[in-house]
Structure 1
Amino acid sequence: MSQTMYKKLSQSLQLRQETVLVTITECLEHRLIGKKILLWPSKSAFDEGEIPLSLMESINLYSQPLLKKKRSGVFQFSWKGNQVECFAEYFPAPVHLIVAGAGHVGEPVASIGKMLGFYVTVIDDRPDYANLERFPIADEVICESFMHYFRDVPLTDHTYILLLTRGHKYDVLSLQELLRRKEKAAYIGMIGSRRRISGVFEQVKQEFPDETFDHIYTPVGLDIGAETPSEIAVSIMAEILKIKNGASGNSLSSKIRRYAKMGFHEGAVK
């Protein structure tokens, strides 16, 4: 892969766009073998000017089913009487974790999120908190108001948002911006006591009287008795994985324990 193509692919993934890299592996026009093209769900394409336009259009057309299935694969088609074979390598959009609030819980959340493969963004309006010295592992550390950030940040079904701000007024501002958006995140979690949560919903309800807030996870996290910032971070990320993977969040031993009481073989037969 050329430096230009690699840079374009890297930029696409940094923008959290799913991408397909197609390589021509078989063609009677030997000069085209090995040539590459980048494709996106929008059907836009990029190459280095070496692939004829009609061939690019055909490659784009035959790549779209693989893009929709979100997988790599080989496909063949006929172009100007030539049999063309291509290999399409699918690159999924990185899952985006937005940590709004660079406080003592935000630090372990960002670390665990990065360890789990999330693209981690930390946002806070305080320069002393929102900096790479405190969050060296994060992909992005942004010093900006929560309101302005959530007004424009791209939201997809790969976006997971945590509101860990220092006060309920910042939660209110963040939620108001998020609820105004047509695009929706996969997950919005908000930390806080019952009193704080009630106050936030009461204020937001004034602008969104029909909002049920059922899609907002608050208090955030799974009930594991977490107390320290690190334990709270584990609780939060466990809930996010539960939502992301469509899992129950139940203890894995619960089903096994039931079988063990009756005998594994007997339980499995039943």
Structure 2
Amino acid sequence: MKERGILNNMDIIEKIYRLKKDNIPFVIATVIETEGSTPGKAGFKMIITASGETFGSVGGGTVEKLVERDALLFLKRRMNKTKQYDLNTDKPTSDNATGMICGGNVKVYFEIHIPKRKVYIFGGGHVSQALERILPKGKYSIVIIDNRKEFSSKPLHPFADQHICEEYENYLKDFKPDVGSYAVIITHGHRFDYDVLRMIIKRDLAFEYIGMIGSKIKVQATLNKIKKELGDVNLEKLYSPIGIDLGGSSASEIALSIAAEMQAVEYNKEVPHMRIV
């Protein structure tokens, strides 16, 4: 979807409000400086979402295509950036060359907006409590789900943003995760871990990361059971046994290994995962 044309301040405020409300990552590209003949002028703005939708304009033409490309790159890298684009044909192989014949250049500032990542933690036990204390509040929005009232309560989970007491399968039957969400499956029983993972896979819920606790033997048994019931399933996002190999077996040590794995997955780092899939 592309909405061309110059955005006024109210258009920008309204669009930003809607994107933030819907937890959609986006970039504001603003022309901050021009030199010579250019179609875009200082103050022109374009909003580019993580899915490639655009609103507004920085001048049109090839330069706008390059701005869209770079916005998505900087969004992926989570970095604000200023970049200059050459609007002549003297440097056709340059990364910022547009091939246009205007003869000037445009400097664009890219401002990254990334919402808090939702982390759905299934199970409110000791590992869950330790994990929510470790995860940075400014980066993650934590949802605790447990089928026991006392283990989904705010007093037990003061760092969580939402507290849900419901049977896991019932909660997941009409559930849709926010964009870029993580799922951590650490319930109080192997049967419940299976129920949660089965529903996530059966409904093909779009989590960026799915971690499930358990020994390698139990994890393999769970996967065999799911494959027998559901057939060939996509396990690309599944990390089980959950965590990276840091050593230790206490709740806080397990929580640390989970948090480290979540960060490694986010930044695409090679680490010693304990997963068997």
**Paired AA for residue 29 in structure 2:** V
Please state how far the C-alpha of 1:20 moved relative to its aligned partner. 0.7
Q: Which residue of structure 2 aligns with residue 263 of structure 1?
A: none
- 139, 142, 148: which one pairs with 1:120? 142
**What residue in structure 2 maps to residue 19 of structure 1?**
26
The runs of 5 or more residues in structure 2 that have no matched partner are: 1-7, 88-99
CA distance in 2, matches of 1:249, 1:84: 44
By how many angstroms is 1:22 displaced?
A: 2.6
Decide whether the 8 Å contact of 1:130 with 1:142 is kept in 2: yes
SS of alignment partner, residue 263 of structure 2: helix
* Higher mean C-alpha deviation, range 102-111 or range 210-219: 210-219
* Equivalent-residue separation in structure 2 for 1:226 and 1:218 (angstroms): 17
Structure 1 residue 74 and structure 2 residue 96: aligned?
A: no
Change in CA separation of 1:18 and 1:193 when aligned onto 2, cut-off 3 Å: same
Match for residue 267 of structure 1? none
Structure 1 segment 1-270 matched on structure 2, within 5 A: 5=12, 9=16, 12-13=19-20, 15-26=22-33, 33-34=42-43, 36-45=45-54, 61-70=65-74, 71=79, 72-75=81-84, 86-92=108-114, 94-114=116-136, 117-147=139-169, 148-149=171-172, 152-154=175-177, 158-182=180-204, 184-193=206-215, 196-197=218-219, 199-211=221-233, 216-244=238-266, 245-249=268-272
Q: Distance in 2 between matches of 1:136 and 1:8?
A: 33
1:64 counterpart letter in structure 2: E
- Equivalent residue letter for 1:74: K
SS at match of 2:184: strand
Q: Normalized against structure 1, the TM-score is what? A: 0.66
Please give the TM-score of this superposition, normalised by the length of structure 2: 0.64
Distance 2:110 2:219 in 1: 47
Match of 1:262 in 2: none
Verify the 8 A CA contact 2:52 2:72 in the aligned structure 1.
no
The gaps in structure 1 that reach 5 residues or longer are 48-52, 251-270
Q: Distance in 1 between matches of 2:11 and 2:158?
A: 28
Summarize the Cα distance change of 1:215–1:65 in structure 2 as closer, same or farther, 3 Å threshold: closer
- Deviation sequence 1:191-213 (CA, Å, 0-9, x none): 13466535533432332233485
Name the amino acid aligned to 1:189: G
Q: Structure 1 pair 236/57, CA: closer, same or farther in 2 (3 Å)?
A: same
**How many Å separate the matches in 1 of 2:206 and 2:15?**
27
1:150/1:177 contact within 8 Å kept: yes
CA RMSD of aligned residues (A): 4.2
The CA distance in 1 between the partners of 2:225 and 2:122, in whole Å, is 19
Q: Is the 8 A contact 2:120 2:181 kept in 1?
A: yes
- The alignment-based identity, stated in percent, is 24
> Any conservation in 2 of the 1:108–1:233 contact (CA below 8 Å)?
yes
| SS in structure 1 of the partner of residue 151 of structure 2 | coil
Q: Cα deviations across residues 123-174 of structure 1 (Å, max 9, x unaligned)?
A: 3344433344333323444444433337533376x44321011223322222
